[in-house]
């Protein structure tokens, strides 16, 4: 699944090109380079997220929008994708009446700020209509004043939508009255006879799959739902069709990224979880506590850790410094095109050898050339690996972002550093959305554990206590013991092992291993 993710990111160059290229323009056709996120929109935009379904096709009791990943329900990820867009004013989430309290609890727990929940209907169209009507009431005594110019509609069960694409849909909706995402068809569509025989098949290249998000001017979508029939409400599946049939509005169709897929079956939940885990395990910050020995160890660890993060891609060179490879638009992580590659120094601790930059860039260029200049995708598990002595001063900014932490202690009998890190994370209030990982690497000076069994038991007790308290704050604390060895081969193996264990702990976030002291 990871492999799929790496090759299906937006902007990677689309491998599933249409059979008839003339039929539908590509997403970027006729435009300049894709614009970066953060553009402003000078008209009011609101969102309706239909979330009133039961998710029958998953076969689960819990409706899929409320299934949790890393302790957070799917719908909260979708809401966040919209909430972080500065030009989106308000979001109406449509939920079945029996889930009103659950939704209110999600809004409170995950601190959603732009959201209001309204009751759903018996079909998706009825739920969306309720959302549109609710938006129309937002102006209070002067409802017309509160109405958005454009309404974006998006299934709550499509959590991976990026700001650039929302911008494209919103602006096209304003210009054309309606706009929607499309994707090339994967399978050919055929019509059957009532007896179950082939009647005819459609020419696949002429058709597209209609996806979400879709955008409409408020007037168009409001009118469409006022005019549509009971049959549309009962059986219809396409809002763009309502705009065409009842308002004469031909929607502008824009090819979207493959990440827009809808969670429909149980296997889609597993795929969504994998993508979410990839997204939260990209960056790790080594905290050395100011110890020169720990800093040296961090440096030694970086090479194996980064090599692990390259998903066995033959073209990606491991970097042996604190230099990061990053993609300017973090929404499009995973895809590195030559023009987008930035090598940057972070935190003032990088030791950058001149040759490294060109070597890494050359590898990427070569991979890109080899891929026929179509696409070259690399999944870096750790896109960013930084080393800092502590998290004070400028380095305090690490506490506020999506970093995971690896804290080194040379003397494991004194847990002061990891206690300070946990306290700083608590003060920064950093982990309400999904659990973050802190790995405490305890480095002992000898091949043997100092103090024998008693010391081992004491170290295990300390980490158990600290981890129980941290877990209440959504911080997963794990421990790794690393023993210094005079045998260089053994030492290298141990260092690699730390990198390997840390990588797995950060990605998997297993609750079962919380508080465990693993041996490297």
Ligand X SMILES: O=C(CO)[C@H](O)[C@H](O)COP(=O)(O)O
Ligand Y SMILES: Nc1ccn([C@@H]2O[C@H](COP(=O)(O)OP(=O)(O)OP(=O)(O)O)[C@@H](O)[C@H]2O)c(=O)n1
Q: Which residues bind ligand X (CB under 6 A)?
A: 124, 155, 210-212, 237-238, 262
CB atoms within 10 A of CB 16: 10
Tell me how far, at minimum, the Cβ of 75 lies from ligand Y, in Å: 8
Q: Which does 211 bind (CB under 5 to 8 A by kind): ligand Y, ligand X, none?
A: ligand X
Q: Whose Cβ is closer to ligand X: residue 240's or residue 436's?
A: 240
Query: Residues 289-294: contacts with CB within 8 Å, 24+ apart?
Result: 289/389, 289/390, 289/407, 289/408, 289/409, 289/410, 289/417, 290/389, 290/390, 291/408, 291/410, 293/410, 293/443, 294/408, 294/409, 294/410, 294/443
Q: Which does 54 bind (CB under 5 to 8 A by kind): ligand X, ligand Y, none?
A: ligand Y
Among 11, 18, 52, 257, binds ligand Y (CB under 6 A): 52
Among 72, 112, 124, 349, binds ligand Y (CB under 6 A): 124
The number of angstroms, rounded, from the C-alpha of 432 to the middle of its chain's C-alpha atoms is 16
Name the residue with tokens 């042996």: 320
Q: Which does 120 bind (CB under 5 to 8 A by kind): ligand X, ligand Y, none?
A: ligand Y
Q: Which does 156 bind (CB under 5 to 8 A by kind): ligand Y, ligand X, none?
A: ligand Y
> Binding string to ligand Y for residues 260 to 279, with x set by CB under 6 A, is what?
--x-x---------------
- From CA 157, how far away is CA 18, in angstroms rounded? 26
Tell me how far, at minimum, the Cβ of 49 lies from ligand Y, in Å: 7
Q: Which does 55 bind (CB under 5 to 8 A by kind): ligand Y, ligand X, none?
A: ligand Y
- Say whether residue 94 binds ligand Y (CB under 6 A): yes
Under 8 Å between Cβ of 212 and 239: no
Q: Whose Cβ is closer to ligand X: residue 124's or residue 129's?
A: 124
Among 123, 217, 302, 404, binds ligand Y (CB under 6 A): 123
Contacts of 375 (CB under 8 A, 6+ apart): 7, 12, 13, 15, 335
Among 157, 341, 422, 470, binds ligand Y (CB under 6 A): 157
Tell me how far, at minimum, the Cβ of 154 lies from ligand X, in Å: 9
Stretch near ligand Y under the rule CB under 6 A, chosen from 50-58, 100-108, 300-308, 326-334: 50-58
Q: Whose Cβ is closer to ligand X: residue 212's or residue 514's?
A: 212
Q: Which does 347 bind (CB under 5 to 8 A by kind): ligand Y, ligand X, none?
A: none
Q: Whose Cβ is closer to ligand X: residue 253's or residue 431's?
A: 253
Q: Whose Cβ is closer to ligand X: residue 112's or residue 124's?
A: 124
With H, G, I as helix, E, B as strand and everything else as coil, classify residue 444.
strand
Nearest CA-CA partner of 214 in 276, 168, 169, 245: 169
Size of the site for ligand Y (CB under 6 A): 22
Q: Whose Cβ is closer to ligand X: residue 64's or residue 483's?
A: 64
- Say whether residue 65 binds ligand Y (CB under 6 A): yes
Q: Whose Cβ is closer to ligand X: residue 124's or residue 222's?
A: 124
Query: Residues 168-171: contacts with CB within 8 Å, 24+ apart?
Result: 168/27, 168/254, 169/213, 169/214, 169/215, 169/254, 170/41, 170/45, 170/87, 170/215, 171/41
Under 8 Å between Cβ of 126 and 120: yes
Q: Whose Cβ is closer to ligand Y: residue 87's or residue 265's?
A: 265
Under 8 Å between Cβ of 287 and 408: yes
Q: Phi and psi of 478, rounded to 5°?
A: -120, 155
Contacts of 231 (CB under 8 A, 6+ apart): none
Tell me how far, at minimum, the Cβ of 132 lies from ligand Y, in Å: 12
Output DSSP code: residue 339. G
Contacts of 261 (CB under 8 A, 6+ apart): 158, 160, 211, 268
What residues line the site for ligand Y (CB under 6 A)? 50-57, 63, 65, 94, 120-124, 127, 155-157, 262, 264
């Amino acid at each position: 699944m990871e492999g799929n993710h790496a090759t299906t990111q937006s902007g990677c160059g689309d491998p599933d090109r249409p059979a008839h290229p003339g039929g539908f323009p590509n997403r970027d056709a006729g435009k300049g380079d894709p614009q970066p996120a953060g553009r402003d929109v000078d008209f009011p935009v609101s969102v309706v997220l239909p979330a009133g379904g039961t998710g029958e096709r998953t076969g689960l009791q819990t409706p899929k929008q409320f299934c949790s990943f890393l302790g957070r329900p799917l719908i909260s990820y979708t809401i966040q994708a919209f909430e972080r867009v500065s030009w989106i004013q308000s979001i109406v989430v449509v939920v079945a009446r029996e889930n009103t309290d659950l939704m209110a609890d999600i809004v409170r727990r995950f601190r959603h700020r732009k959201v209001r929940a309204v009751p759903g209907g018996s079909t998706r169209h009825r739920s969306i209509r309720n959302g549109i009507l609710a938006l129309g009431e937002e102006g209070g005594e002067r409802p017309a004043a509160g109405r958005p110019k454009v309404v974006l509609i998006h299934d709550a069960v499509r959590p991976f939508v990026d700001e650039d694409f929302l911008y494209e849909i919103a602006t096209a909706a304003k210009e054309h009255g309606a706009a929607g995402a499309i994707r090339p068809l994967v399978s050919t569509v055929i019509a059957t006879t009532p007896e179950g025989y082939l009647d005819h098949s459609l020419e696949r290249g002429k058709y597209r799959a209609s996806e979400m998000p879709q955008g409409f001017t408020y007037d168009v979508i409001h009118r469409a739902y006022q005019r549509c029939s009971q049959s549309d409400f009962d059986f219809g599946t396409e809002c763009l069709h309502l705009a065409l049939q009842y308002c004469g509005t031909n929607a502008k169709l824009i090819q979207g990224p493959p990440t827009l897929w809808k969670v429909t079956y149980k296997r889609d939940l597993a795929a969504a979880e994998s993508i979410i885990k990839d997204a939260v395990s990209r960056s790790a910050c080594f905290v050395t506590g100011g110890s020169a020995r720990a800093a040296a160890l961090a440096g030694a660890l970086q090479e194996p850790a980064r090599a692990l993060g390259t998903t066995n891609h033959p073209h990606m060179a491991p970097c042996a410094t604190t230099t990061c490879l990053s993609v300017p638009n973090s929404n499009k992580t995973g895809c590195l095109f030559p023009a987008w590659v930035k090598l940057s120094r972070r935190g003032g601790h990088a030791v950058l050898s001149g040759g490294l930059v060109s070597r890494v860039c050359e590898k990427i260029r070569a991979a890109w050339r080899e891929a026929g200049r179509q696409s070259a995708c690399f999944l870096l598990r750790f896109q960013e690996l930084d080393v800092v002595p502590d998290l004070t001063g400028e380095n305090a900014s690490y506490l506020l972002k999506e970093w995971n932490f690896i804290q080194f202690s040379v003397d494991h009998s004194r847990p002061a550093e990891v206690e300070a890190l946990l306290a700083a994370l608590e003060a920064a209030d950093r982990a309400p959305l999904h659990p973050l990982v802190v790995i405490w690497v305890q480095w002992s000076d000898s091949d043997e554990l100092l103090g024998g069994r008693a010391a081992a038991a004491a170290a295990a007790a300390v980490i158990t206590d600290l981890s129980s308290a941290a877990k209440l704050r959504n911080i997963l604390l794990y421990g790794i013991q690393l023993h210094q060895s005079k045998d260089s081969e053994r030492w290298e193996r141990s260092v690699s092992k730390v990198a390997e264990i840390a990588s797995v702990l950060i990605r998997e976030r297993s609750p079962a291993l919380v508080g465990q002291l693993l041996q490297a």
